[in-house]
Amino acid sequence: MLTDIKSLRPAAPILIGAAVMISLSMGIRQSLGLVMPSLTRDIALSVSEFTLAVSVQNLAWGALQPFAGALVVRLGFRPVMLTGAALYCAGLLLLAAAQGLLGVTIGAGVLIGVALSCTAAAIATAVAARAVPERTRSFVLGCITGAGSLGALVSAPVGQLLSVSFGWRAEVLGFFALAVAMLPAAWFAGRVDGIALPRSVAAERIEASAMTALQTAMGSLPFCVMAGAYFVCGLQLLFITTHLPSYLEICGMDPMLSGEALAVIACFNVLGSVFFGWAGGRWNKQALLGLIYTLRSLGLCVYFMLPPTPLSTLLFAAVMGFLWLGVSPLIAGSVVEMFGLRWQAMIQGIAFMSHQVGSFVGVLGSGLLFDWLGSYDLAWKLIVAMGLTAGVAQLSFALGRPLPPRLATS
């Protein structure tokens, strides 16, 4: 392992750039739920209206992710990532100046959603997969994914502190100051454009065009099952990041607890992502995905069945954090195994569309149920039931029908 890590030194600037970029783009986005309680009071929005904006963000991200993945093949990673970083900064500035639903929807929804399709997990893991050899790929994908929450270790507590001291607009401007660092990070990660793709005779048939790659992916049953179960991942994660702060406020918890919980999630996500990246190089990636969905659903069930306390909330955050983005290196690695490197970002983006539809349902659906019933009881019960169903289905399929031989050995 030490020899393998030393072999990564030539790719270090690329990997560090990708890690910083995903850390900031994902970390800030995970912290946006902290803005909801004070923003909705200040500009007279309902919870469902704010969650509509976040839902637009997730739909824009998911719908445009395959196109961003296809663009990196045509234009290169660097211009796509730099454009995304600039749009992210613009979205935060517009959100900070918002006076109503339109400004929140365009800033936090449309602009940040488009930016995420160019800077978040699918693009960052595609950069990392291109930059490293196969023997270290799964481990490196786990490390890059883990970096996706390091930004929240800074943005969540700092954002909460700014909000308590100066208001939510200062909190969003603090996020903007962090987001500016995405521009140089994207520039360094863009060095991956100079690395030639390894060739594989078996993969040539799906590397010819985007349409051929898309048809091959949609005709693969293992891929379709994986993409379908990915819906639940988005459902669960966005429910937590968007609605946990509101839930804790309703329960009378300290306002700082939600920021602390998101920071704990971010910290343990690093450990979980690295672990599942390492595990994906040794065991069945599809079965590990099913295990994550199942354990995450059980954790949600136990936490919401009991009255929340500071200790139970932080323990819940630790468990969820460990299971948070471990799915990303497993899905990215599975896509490379099945379809090769050239169209990885696009095909992974197709799966991610399912994830983002789940995010839309988890955010907006939970907000509507809360406005209708005055509690989150029905929302979390439905999310647990769907999570257990998806976890068992993914596990059963993975163990019953393992992946066919690799289409690519790159």
Q: Is residue 407 part of a domain?
A: no
Domain hosting residue 260, numbered range: 10-193+202-400
| Domains in the chain, number | 1
Q: Is residue 363 part of a domain?
A: yes
CA dihedral 236, 109, 272, 126 (to 10 degrees): 120
Total number of residues shown for the chain: 410
- Quote the pLDDT of residue 84: 92
Q: Is residue 406 part of a domain?
A: no
Q: Up-side HSE of residue 20: CA atoms within 13 Å toward CB?
A: 19
Q: Is residue 405 part of a domain?
A: no
Give every CB contact of residue 218 below 8 A, 6+ residues apart in sequence: 224, 350
Q: Is residue 257 part of a domain?
A: yes
Tell me which residue of 192, 215, 180, 139 sits closest to 11, measured CA to CA: 192
pTM (predicted TM-score): 0.73
Torsion over CA: 239, 245, 248, 249 (sign): negative
- Quote the pLDDT of residue 79: 93
**What are the tens digits of pLDDT across the range 123-175?**
888 888 787 777 777 778 777 877 776 777 777 777 777 777 777 788 888 88
Q: Is residue 106 part of a domain?
A: yes
Q: Is residue 410 part of a domain?
A: no
- Quote the pLDDT of residue 408: 39
Q: Is residue 352 part of a domain?
A: yes
Series of mean pLDDT values for 10-residue runs along the chain (410 residues): 56 85 85 77 75 78 83 87 94 87 86 90 82 76 76 74 78 89 90 71 51 71 81 82 75 74 80 82 82 89 84 87 83 77 75 79 74 76 86 79 47
Are 337 and 403 a contacting pair, CB within 8 Å? yes
How far is the C-alpha of 162 from the C-alpha of 164, rounded, in Å?
6
CATH of the domain at 258: 1.20.1250.20
